[in-house]
Structure 1
């Protein structure tokens, strides 16, 4: 039986861990990030992978940092045949990369060498890509630069946001790994070097990227909203207060209005001018200090004062 140490943290990794366990691989340990405070009340919350590991009765290791830690020594002492990572969130030290006889592999949510880094799903949508995918690769010391073992692509639909693509790519990664692992165990897998000249990067989202710039074209704003939904969420300001924009679509109205101006109010949305003479229809939003709501709910409530010509900054 092939022995595995699995390393992952968010919900993206959960179906992948479950598959590895259900396929009969010997999961010696699950390594995940420490519990973190979540929400306004800062409730200490375990990562989704920890919850799943406990449900499956698996041993959990939670290093704050792997390098030169007792947890690293513990993982090395397990002597797994292979280490599988999926959105773990830490760089693996060289001594760990070199230890398993079948190597360390990673399930990465992009078509490498495009979108190396921590936010490949966000960035693909922000950039207006029409497709993305999953790559299974050997891990190397350089970020997401290891040899490619297998890849599978999927379309990004107009209605997709980062949340829906996380779910789709998690399942795609699960299925691709299920097909790929037996080949690795048998030594029959492919191994393709990445073309460094085609490498691009998807760095973690900064606060500056979250603010909507209405002077940009409507398609860019639309991609920003869906690329940052449901986290960390795009925002704008209205009458001095921040407003999160959870969902939007391309508007149907052409306009000469200033970027950010409200140009049309519908029953279930309102349209805001972008910088190219087109508009964005706001579908869901969250005013400062209030809950997330549909545009229709907003317009029936305090938003009923919203008028043509009002401006989002």
Structure 2
């Protein structure tokens, strides 16, 4: 009677779209037409969005562009990471689907055509997109850490070693960007400071910052990504 899709990265061929009596529908983890594509949660956090949500829509032969059946929005906590936001959206998506299906089966749905001029694209995440640039605004860096946590994680290079930051805190302060500012391995940015709390060295497991500091050689004032 119906095909329900979620997190499927390919377009369904036309003959499949035409098979079920009530069509094929998708549960997408953004408020379409914003963040069509493969990584809507990551892009919402990267962009500093205040609100996101879920959209149930009818699949057509264009990516994430079909008519909207139902939506549900939520506020994005400014400290939530990708993993926790994904869990929250998946839970709400299940509830939204259960409440929407009866109306769909009873043909009690008003389809809303998406506005193409409002569409944005959430491209696939690349390794370079996860690289941290501490010359940027501190909030931008903090959002990048949250967007890829806990995996695959944002990263930077120090003394030719790639280090991931899995969790961090954001602190106010004026200091030299892309520089280690104290013996706690806090890193200066433009308009603020990033304070790593969980990191991961190459070939090692994630560790709390206290454990990292016991076995890592650095000096206050050294540059990051140099």
Shorter-chain TM-score category?
A: over 0.9
SS of equivalent residue, structure 1 residue 265: coil
Distance in 2 (alpha carbons) for counterparts of 1:238 and 1:306: 9
- Give the aligned partner of residue 278 of structure 1: 192
Structure with the higher fraction of residues in helix conformation? 1
- Give the aligned partner of residue 264 of structure 1: 182
Cα shift readout 1:213-271 (whole Å, capped 9, x = no counterpart): 1111111100000001122211001111100111112123321x2x22111234xxx31
Q: Which structure has the larger Rg? A: 1
- Find 1:234's aligned residue among 149, 154, 164: 154
TM-score (norm 1): 0.70
- Find 2:201's aligned residue among 284, 287, 308: 287
Give the 4+ runs in structure 1 shifted more than 2 A: none
Distance in 2 (alpha carbons) for counterparts of 1:161 and 1:312: 23
Cα shift readout 1:36-89 (whole Å, capped 9, x = no counterpart): xxxxxxxxxxxxxxxxxxxxxxxxxxxxxxxxxxxxxxxxxxxxx100001123
Where do 1:1-313 residues align within 5 Å? 81-255=1-175, 257=176, 259-266=177-184, 270-274=185-189, 276-299=190-213, 301-303=214-216, 305-313=217-225
TM-score (norm 2): 0.96
Distance in 1 (alpha carbons) for counterparts of 2:209 and 2:132: 18
Matched-pair contact (CA < 8 Å) for 1:271–1:281: yes
| Structure ranking higher on relative contact order (CA contacts 8 Å, 6+ apart) | 2
Distance in 1 (alpha carbons) for counterparts of 2:208 and 2:172: 19
Unaligned runs of 5+ in 2: none
Distance in 1 (alpha carbons) for counterparts of 2:52 and 2:137: 23
Unaligned runs of 5+ in 1: 1-80
Distance in 2 (alpha carbons) for counterparts of 1:86 and 1:139: 11
